[in-house]
Amino acid sequence: MHAVDYDVVIAGGGLAGLLAAKEAASKGLSVAVFEEDWEIGVPDKCDGLVSMKALMSLGVVPSSKAVQNTISRVLLYSPSGKRIEVEASNLRVVVLDRFVFDKDLGKAASSKGAEIILGERVVKAVEEEGYVRVEADSPIKSKLYIEAKGVSALPADRQRSLIPAARYDVEARWVQDETVEIYVDNSKYPCFFLWVISTGKGLAKVGVAGRSINCFASLDEFLKQKGGAHVIKKVSAPIYVGGPIDSFVKGRMMIVGDSAGQTKPSTGGGIYSCGLAGVFAGQAAANYLLHEDSEALQRYSRSWLRLFKEDFRIALQARRVYEKMDNRGIEKVFDLFREKNLLNNLLQEDGFDEHSKWVVRFLGVEDFVKIFSIVAAEEFRALVKELGKFFRR
């Protein structure tokens, strides 16, 4: 074996990278995390909406400072302004301050022995005989390499699945505490929606995403309609909704998180799915190096796919149906939501983190089948095909 500088080098100090570092270092491996920014948690691109159940699955208990709010209800608005109110207190959904949360993860990884190197970007990683050569400010040799740099590292053919997005952190009188508001309008916010996430009394994260729109202009218009707000911070970052890349493992290199396309095709969220990838990858590194388990790296891939592959496939096909819908079709769906009380019933079943459950329930209603088959026939057939595979399993 060639002399190496580290057992594991991780490019990217976000959620997935830090969880991978914590897992690998806790097993006694020498781990280095290279983060190109000068501070962990900066910039804060994620809204931090996640269930406590998901966090427990990651082995993470957020500090009180990292939890900005709890969510007790969801308000869903149609293009015409029709409102559906959904009780959500039983889901134990919290809003995280990702700046604080990620800093806590960094401290946890450091406490296990991981070295966090700030302000240094990994330019390239190349596998050579018996090790990986990592090019940063100076060449480094590592036994294993984990790519966790975010959407910028996605393959070129996946970049088209990025949707422009932006967020304002605001203070305003109209913010409803412990509430998430979702505004659906495929004319104003094509292929996505606008959201308001309460972070405390009078405080909220107001975000929007949509293809071919000026996100900041859309947010300005929304705030004006609401009566104004004091904008504390502005953030802009694309959302990826294209599903996982073809392979997470190549030789001694693993890819995790946004870099691997492990964010939900439905909402672009990824605390649970990306975080679990980091945990699996860190465990795989330890098993590969300490127990000479040649299948460990591929087992990371199989473990993640076993949990998320079908859920992501169904959500991706459902997204394609939604992207083809006009506001008239969306209004019909809202009417059915209200008539059947479908969302309240679904969220009582703890479907927050598994969005394929939503699709299965929606398509169990005869009227939904009629609507979707009319507004997006080709995409609907593809969705039904995926659902068929799901039920056969």
Q: Give the helix/strand (H/E) hosting 311.
A: helix 296-324
- For residue 183, pLDDT over 90 is answered with yes
Domain 6-42+98-154+244-307: which topology?
FAD/NAD(P)-binding domain (3.50.50)
195: number of Cβ within 10 Å: 22
Q: What is the rounded CA–CA span in Å between residue 288 and residue 234?
A: 42
pLDDT digits (tens, 9 = 90+) for 350-361: 555 555 555 556
Q: Give the residue extent of every domain in the chain.
A: 6-42+98-154+244-307, 165-237, 309-392
What does the pLDDT read at residue 43? 84
Q: What is the rounded CA–CA span in Å between residue 131 and residue 359?
A: 44
The answer to whether domain 6-42+98-154+244-307 and domain 165-237 are alike in fold is: no
Classify residue 238 as exposed, middle or buried by CB count within 10 Å of its CB (0-12, 13-18, 19+).
buried
pLDDT digits (tens, 9 = 90+) for 61-100: 999 999 999 999 999 999 999 999 988 888 899 999 999 9
**For residues 205-229, average pLDDT:** 98
Residue 376 CA: distances (Å) to CA of 6, 150, 321, 361, 369:
52, 32, 6, 18, 11
Classify residue 366 as exposed, middle or buried by CB count within 10 Å of its CB (0-12, 13-18, 19+).
exposed
Residue 291's Cβ-side half-sphere holds a number of Cα atoms within 13 Å equal to: 11
What does the pLDDT read at residue 185? 98
- The contacts of residue 240 (CB under 8 Å, 6+ apart) are 151, 154, 158, 161, 162, 163, 258, 261, 263, 268
Residue 392's Cβ-side half-sphere holds a number of Cα atoms within 13 Å equal to: 6
Query: Do residues 47 and 95 make contact, with C-beta atoms less than 8 angstroms apart?
Result: yes
Q: Read off the DSSP letter of residue 91.
A: G
What does the pLDDT read at residue 387? 57
Structure token digits, residue 143: 């036994």
Question: What confidence tier does 318 reach under pLDDT thresholds 50, 70, 90?
Answer: confident
Architecture of domain 165-237: 2-Layer Sandwich (3.30)
Chain centre to alpha carbon of residue 345: 24
